[in-house]
Homo-oligomer: A and B are copies of this chain.
Amino acid sequence: MIKVLDHGFARLVSYMQPAGVCVDWSGDLEIVRNARASYDADWRTGDDDKDAKLVNYLTKNRHTSPFEAMVFTFEVKAPIFVIRQWHRHRTWSYNEVSARYAELPEEFYVPEPAQITTQSTSNKQMRTTERHPRAERVHDAIYYHCENAFAAYKLLLEDGVPRELARGVLPLNTYTRMFATVDLHNLFHFLTLRLHEHAQYEIRVYAEALLELISPICPVAVAAFKEHRL
């Protein structure tokens, strides 16, 4: 598990693994044997260099289907505004906590003062890297506002207001939690966009965590991705 932001995390839950015993298996091999189906070739050469070369070639030339055979499930806890960006990636499968069903715990994101910068004017969607002159006070203002929102939420619940209506007062900084399943082709696409310097910092740190989590599973593919796609 990798901690992300003030109360979030990402962890690897499950991933594709061989049905039987497979000596020296790795996620890279999974890619290799799916790719070699196209050539009607023996999928296992026993030659690690040859395998690595193939994974490298496939990554560089953006082959798709061999990477779709390597699938991961992550558990992620993140602020709702981050999850909103995440859910725009429609090739993932999501199972998220339902605020109709369960009361959301009082956990919300407050950016550290170091992260509170100013609005960029050259790029209308971004923030600058220049610290806001009143970063501490902005931090506190966000904290108190979110705390108030949770106080209102709890009062509504205590008064018997339905969960599905009470949640409407919660801020977009509220943490939520999901299981998310994706194949490596679509994960690489996600990472290309969300590791980009134009991506919002708060989702970029989750993208970095995912890349770190899969690195030991398919090190060759990850290295090739870093070299050719980032």
What residues of chain A have their CB less than 8 Å away from a CB belonging to chain B? 11-19, 30, 33-35, 37-41, 65-66, 68-69, 71, 73, 75, 79-81, 84, 87-88, 90-91, 93-102, 109, 111, 115-120, 124-128, 132, 134, 138, 141-142, 145-146, 148-149, 152, 155-156, 159-165, 167-174, 177-179, 181, 183, 200
Assess A161 versus B132: contact at CB under 8 Å? Given A149-B171, A168-B109.
yes
Residues from chain B with Cβ under 8 Å of A115 in the complex: 165
Interface centre among A98, A115, A128, by most chain B C-beta atoms within 10 angstroms, is A98
Residues from chain B with Cβ under 8 Å of A16 in the complex: 14-17, 71, 73
Residues from chain B with Cβ under 8 Å of A165 in the complex: 111, 115-116, 127, 142
CA distance in complex: A34, B87 (Å): 16
CA distance in complex: A113, B222 (Å): 47
CB of A143 to closest CB in B, whole Å = 10
Assess A100 versus B125: contact at CB under 8 Å? Given A160-B132, A179-B34.
yes
CB of A15 to closest CB in B, whole Å = 6
Residues from chain B with Cβ under 8 Å of A73 in the complex: 16, 30, 34, 69
Residues from chain B with Cβ under 8 Å of A127 in the complex: 162, 164-165
CA distance in complex: A200, B162 (Å): 11
